[in-house]
Amino acid sequence: MMKRLLALLRNELVMTRTTLSIHLLGFFQPALMFSLMAFVLVMPTFELYVARSSLPLGESLVEAMVQVNSPIGDAYIEPLLVEWQQGDDIPGGQVVELAISDGMPTAVQHFDLIDSNIVKNYRNRLTSAGLILWEEELGRAAIQIEERPLLPVDVPYNVYFGMGMLPLAAWIGASFVAAFLSAQEFEFKTIQEYRLAPAHWGLVLGARLLRLSLTGLLSSMVLMITLYVFEQAWPSPLGLALGMLVLMGLIGACVGTSAALVLKQTLPSFVIALASAFFTWIMGGAFGLPAGFGGVYEAVSRWVPNSYAVRALFPLYYPIEPSHPNSYLILFVFATAAVIATILIYRKSVLSVEEVRQ
Amino acid sequence: MRRLWLLFRSELVVWRRDPITALGGVLPPALILIAFSLLFGGRLSFKIAVVNQDEGPYGSILRETFDEVISPLNDVPYYAVFDLSERDAHIAYERGEMDGIWVIPPDFSERVVAQEDPHIEMWFNNYNDDRAKNHRIYASEIVWAFYERIGLEAPFGLAETYPREEMVDWVSVIAVGVALLSATLGSIFNMYALTYKEQVEGLILEFGLAPRSLLWVWMPKIILALLFGWGSGTIFLIVIRFWLGYWPGRLLPAALFLMGLVSLFWIGFAVVIGIRSRNYMAGALGVVLTAIIIYFIGGGMSLVRFRSEDVLKIAWLFPNTHAIDPLRDLVLFQTWPADWNPTILILSGFAFLSIIAGVSVSSRQLRRLD
């Protein structure tokens, strides 16, 4: 049996040559996406336009803005002085004007048509700069905030983001190729060969899923190496990370294969693989640990395998806490459920008498 | 005209047989929108534990301040505070259930009164620099409000002006990005759906031998793909209307015009890549994935106009990045974009070049001239 499985596996690998471009897309798309997004996703430093003012507050406020930063990381404000008065276009979405209001100097933040998230970022930065001036005046009456960060340095956001994309890479690599290969079996009628094969269907399906899981693993390894090149972040121990990503690849393979077995056409199967890949990625802690977002998001994320993959990967990238054995177990349960569902769909779509007659 | 109508009808029949592909412009963007609305549309307060060990009144005042300082993002406090013992707080923090802990020491009030360096401890998880930054700048908001509550007078005031009565929230900004993505994917998927059958069943050769101009082949496909792009985008505009309350109103034709020009670019692009690539499906996958990457780097999740220097140069090579903020002006702010004319000129250029390239390259390919 083992010999036959290996022969089937070899056949699957040979088939890679016929769909090389699809494989290359699966291998490199997540790494490309990460490489591009890494440059634009999070910019801690905001340009803050400040209207030139003759008030003494103007100069000291700009000096305070320069001091708003992470003691172990980046500056948060880059103040830019501009000639501006009310009625002029607002540069950069926001400008700080220093004026006298009710006899008191006031820093008025004029916003353009920007959203609440950017307003929040501008507001917080101005308050931080203002607080520096206030506390200088307060002297020893000012409250000292003693920072106790968990890690010695603020870790760049890209490390988390890249780590969060690893399960997506495994899913994409496996599910896209799975959808493509399995749907084409129907489109080119080669599914008939599987029906007539003397080998047990379990071996045929097993070899396919195994090879697709490895495809997913390869895809995530390309991203893993890219993340290392960008941020010098590498999982330790590597074996645990790879094992977990094989499970993610297996789940992606099952989704892609099942979609193709049901729909029997390449494009719709691809739509399902695509939609599932990005939905589970975003819901599974793509932009931060789900516990940090709370509410419905956290509740829904419990039903998404990616969030367990991220939880399992987290201690491999951050020296914070031991691995969550539960995450591996739950991921294993997800993978088992996906395989069982795929087997049932395979039997119905490929082996049932009705399908054979058609 | 009759010929065009006949071809148009035959294309419609192809589409009716494959409705899921037609939904390619709706299903993935819908799931992306649902996921983003759950992620960024909920309560985004940082979960922290406050351990108040203070024996005087100021610790309690500081504790109350947390609930009163409201973030403009979703109008909720910056912090969701849990009052825990120091031990429980650290257990929750180490489990990742809390973003941070503020410890107010026993002598806090005493030091505030004596003006002798009152201090607090702020424990926080800096596993990413963005959240660490937020902890620091949110703390400034809390301390500023605390000073005001205890009657200290700031050396200057802070004020804000916003051009609308209500602030546009982040999820709405993302939703318009998704609407444009939907129009993009809708046109791409439908273009591929309309040409895939020909590729798979070898009908492409018949087109190549057709005595008439191949424009007759491409015209109905382009029109249909454009209509489906519009259809998908419009579905999302309607969703935005009923869910988030934004609707372009009389500016709707302008919004559709923008989306249509973007769709035309992608239709031409899809045809070129689909026909030229040795593996048709790989071409299709490549185009769809490119469109999704462009969504993420070309202003799909945030405004690009005010931070254009931070947008990657490669993103400006695609029309979506140029169209997204004018589209937001029309939908969210119901205002005519100040950069309407240059935007339309750029988008028309993209669409024109792409369609010309798409039709001529693919026609040459079909005629086996290349």
Judgement on whether residues A269 and A123 belong to the same structural domain of the protein = no
Closest-CA residue to B225 (of B187, B256, B199, B258): B187
Task: Tell me the per-residue pLDDT of B248-307, one tens digit each, with 9 for 90 and over.
Answer: 999 999 999 999 999 999 999 998 887 777 677 888 889 999 999 999 999 999 999 888
What's the confidence (pLDDT) of residue B80? 93
Judgement on whether residues A132 and A233 belong to the same structural domain of the protein = no
| Residues 6 or more apart whose Cβ sits within 8 Å of residue A117 | B40, B73, B169, B170, B173, B302
Does a structural domain hold residue A340?
Answer: yes
Judgement on whether residues A196 and A337 belong to the same structural domain of the protein = yes
Are the Cβ atoms of A130 and B126 closer than 8 angstroms?
Answer: no
Judgement on whether residues A240 and A213 belong to the same structural domain of the protein = yes
Q: A239-248, A349-358, B155-164, B168-177: which range is least confident on average?
A: A349-358
Residue that finishes a domain, picked among A76, A108, A141: A141
Residue that finishes a domain, picked among A141, A166, A187: A141
Interface of A with B in 35-54 (CB under 8 A): 36-37, 39-40, 42-44, 47
Are the Cβ atoms of A128 and B123 closer than 8 angstroms?
Answer: no
Does a structural domain hold residue A147?
Answer: no
Residue of A nearest to B301 (CA): A41
Task: Tell me the per-residue pLDDT of A108-146, one tens digit each, with 9 for 90 and over.
Answer: 999 998 999 999 999 999 999 999 999 999 999 999 999
Contact B234, B228 (CB under 8 A): no
Judgement on whether residues A193 and A113 belong to the same structural domain of the protein = no
Does a structural domain hold residue A105?
Answer: yes
Judgement on whether residues A12 and A69 belong to the same structural domain of the protein = no
Task: Tell me the per-residue pLDDT of A172-196, one tens digit each, with 9 for 90 and over.
Answer: 999 999 999 999 888 888 888 777 7
B210 token code pair: 């057709």
**pLDDT top residue among B53 and A198:** B53
Contact list in A for residue B177 (CB cut-off 8 A) is: none
The answer to whether B321 contacts chain A (CB < 8 Å) is no
What ipTM goes with this model? 0.89
Judgement on whether residues A260 and A343 belong to the same structural domain of the protein = yes
What's the confidence (pLDDT) of residue B151? 92
In the numeric block, the tokens 């993935």 are attached to: B28
Q: Residue B12 to residues B22, B74, B212: CA-CA distances in angstroms?
A: 11, 44, 21
Q: Which of A35, A39, A40 to mutate to test the interface with B (most CBs of B within 10 A)?
A: A40
Judgement on whether residues A106 and A227 belong to the same structural domain of the protein = no
* CA pair distance A307, A280, nearest whole angstrom: 8
Judgement on whether residues A188 and A213 belong to the same structural domain of the protein = yes
Contact list in B for residue A155 (CB cut-off 8 A) is: 126-129
Residue that finishes a domain, picked among A118, A141, A164: A141
- Taking 70 as the pLDDT cut, the residues of chain B under it are 14-15, 197-205, 278, 368-370
Does a structural domain hold residue A151?
Answer: no
The answer to whether A266 contacts chain B (CB < 8 Å) is yes
Neighbour-count burial of A338, counting CB atoms closer than 10 A to its CB (0-12 exposed, 13-18 middle, 19+ buried): buried
Strand locations in chain B (E): 46-52, 79-83, 100-104, 119-124, 157-161
pLDDT above 70: percentage of residues in chain A: 97
Q: Cα B198 to the chain's mean position, in Å? A: 34
How many domains is chain A built from?
2
Residue A94 belongs to domain spanning: 46-141
Does a structural domain hold residue A8?
Answer: yes
The answer to whether B172 contacts chain A (CB < 8 Å) is yes
Greatest mean pLDDT among A162-166, A314-318, B86-90: A162-166
pTM of the model: 0.91
Judgement on whether residues A60 and A171 belong to the same structural domain of the protein = no
Q: What is the CATH number of the domain that holds A85?
A: 3.40.190
Does a structural domain hold residue A188?
Answer: yes
Phi (first) and psi of residue B269, to 5 degrees: -60, -45
The answer to whether A151 contacts chain B (CB < 8 Å) is yes
> Rounded to a whole number, what is the distance in Å from the CA of A279 to chain B's nearest CA?
6
Number of A to B CB contacts under 8 A, please give it: 336
* CA pair distance A236, A318, nearest whole angstrom: 9
The answer to whether A85 contacts chain B (CB < 8 Å) is no
Judgement on whether residues A167 and A227 belong to the same structural domain of the protein = yes
A72, A137, A293: residue with CB nearest B44: A293
Judgement on whether residues A119 and A50 belong to the same structural domain of the protein = yes
Does a structural domain hold residue A89?
Answer: yes
Does a structural domain hold residue A148?
Answer: no
Closest-CA residue to A287 (of B288, B307, B131, B176): B131
Task: Tell me the per-residue pLDDT of A55-78, one tens digit each, with 9 for 90 and over.
Answer: 888 889 999 999 998 877 788 999
> Rounded to a whole number, what is the distance in Å from the CA of B261 to chain A's nearest CA?
24
